[in-house]
Amino acid sequence: MIHHKAEDVACVPGLAVFAAARLMNRAEKWGTNMKRMLALLAACAMLCTLAACGQQKEGSAAGSGNAAPTDSVQDSATGSKPADSTTPEDSSKAEESGSDSRKDPDAPEHSESSGTDSAGQSPEHNGDTPSGSDTENSQPDNPSSGEQKPAASTPTQQEQQSPTATTAAQEDSTPASDVKTIALLGDSVRFEGKGIAARGSKVGITKGGTYRISGSLSDGQIEINTEKKVVLQLDGVSIKNSAGSAINVINAKRVNVELMPGTVNSLEDGSIQHDVDKGALFSNDTLEIGGSGTLNIRSNYAHGIASDDDIIVNGGRLHIVSTKSGLFANDDITINGGTLYCDAGTNGIKCKNTISINGGTSVLMGGTREEKGAVIAVGGFTINGGTLYAVGNTCTLPLASSGQNAVAVTFASALSANMLTRIASGSSPLFTLSSPRAYKTVLYSGSGLREGASYTVSTGGMVSGGSTADYVTTGGTYSGGTDRGTYKTTGRVSSFSVS
């Protein structure tokens, strides 16, 4: 069989027309009938030629790719392109990205540590890398090395993807969908999200962001090491660590601890010497505590809450029992709200710079050593609001520039543990309190204290009825005490010496 191209076939009718014209020239002598037949043949040939040319033109147009426009390029109602349409711009963007569009880079991760490794092994200490490379793959084997190895006892743990960079604005306002979760399971950990590594009962946080933590660890730790801001939402947490801090912040731009509403959380360190971790809750950077839940802290070795930077208390109920200071900061301590109770072996709260109390209720119990006290502020102490009860061997007096009245009572000899001190204006008590240890100084600031008013100091005795919380007694009837004299406040801050 012979195959012809379309242009070859289109030439056949043209040859027929040419042949018919030559025959007509010779048909002059053949007669009228022959001339008519040849004319008909020529007309047919002309029609075939026109038809063939039309088909050839249509095929050429189709091959050039100039398709007729359609009405499905963009939906005018929604402003979105149909799913099956792709523009040159889309194609160029896809080429520039160089990645598989089907892969979700922000897909959450799920992992769990088996808890069979020793709690003394810590997660990897890596900060955020500018390149965004993955620093939390699997479980680290050695916290001091850059090499990351999966724990041998956790073969099902998934390799984590490199988290995306988080801006400061995103950190300050974190959507609920971006909150990572950490579930503490006694001797193991289950987590979801990026920036988390775990080995046994030790958890490492190496990326900025918000982390909601729940559950308990019988002997473990949460460790933070990043250059970003970290928010810890404590949602019913209990952590004990026999050889270090329950929460240890090695590095962070700032750490916010949020006590979730209606929750009771507890942190406890061990009595074993752990010089690196200086408190049950320790941070090398600014530590801010807020929320409306409760945080119970027991420090068996050093401070309850310690920071090499600032400590800021905005809310929540903090109940601290510590071997050394309840709160200790190398820089400033600021109390803006909440309820703070410190039963401390040395100082109720101490800082190497300034202490400011602007709100909330604080009950601070210091130790018995001569140089220790309820409040120790090397750089100055101001009270501008709230209610303060401070009891100890000594106490830094508030500055006269404070915005709220304060009165300090210092006894010539120490009162025994649990002995009451009562200050009243006539029959109206200003406060009644005691201490779990012997004490010599009592400081009060709050409502009811007036300048130029007279107050009677009594010690000992008892209160019938009423209620006592954190060694502060309210209500009831006082009786049996010893009158230690009446004194008059003379300014914003007054001090009584009682023999």
Does 123 share its domain with 252?
Answer: yes
Does 178 share its domain with 269?
Answer: yes
Does 185 share its domain with 289?
Answer: yes
Question: Is this model's pTM higher than 0.75 or not?
Answer: no
Does 348 share its domain with 487?
Answer: yes
Predicted confidence band of residue 396 (pLDDT cuts 50, 70, 90): very high
| pLDDT in the model for residue 164 | 33
Residues 121, 233: Cα–Cα separation, whole Å: 24
Does 471 share its domain with 371?
Answer: yes
Residues 326, 85: Cα–Cα separation, whole Å: 65
Residue 218: both structure tokens together: 């019988």
Which range, 16-20, 82-86, 216-220, has the best average confidence (pLDDT)?
A: 216-220
The total number of structural domains that make up the chain? 3
Q: Which residues pair with 267 in a beta bridge?
A: 239, 297
Residue 239: both structure tokens together: 């952590």
- Residue numbers of the domain that contains 399: 332-499
Residue 262 lies in a domain: yes
Least confident of 73-82, 249-258, 350-359, 373-382: 73-82
Does 402 share its domain with 346?
Answer: yes
Domain boundary among 245, 277, 294: 294
Residue 331: both structure tokens together: 């820089």
Predicted confidence band of residue 272 (pLDDT cuts 50, 70, 90): confident
More confident residue, 53 or 420: 420
Residues 321, 357: Cα–Cα separation, whole Å: 20
Does 352 share its domain with 487?
Answer: yes
| pLDDT in the model for residue 104 | 39
Q: Over the stretch 169-209, which tens digit does the pLDDT of each residue have?
A: 344 455 677 899 999 999 999 999 889 999 999 999 999 99
Does 259 share its domain with 373?
Answer: no
Confidence check: pLDDT of 22 > 50: yes
| pLDDT in the model for residue 427 | 86
| pLDDT in the model for residue 278 | 82
Q: Give the mean pLDDT of 71-86.
A: 33
Residue 304 lies in a domain: no
Does 339 share its domain with 287?
Answer: no
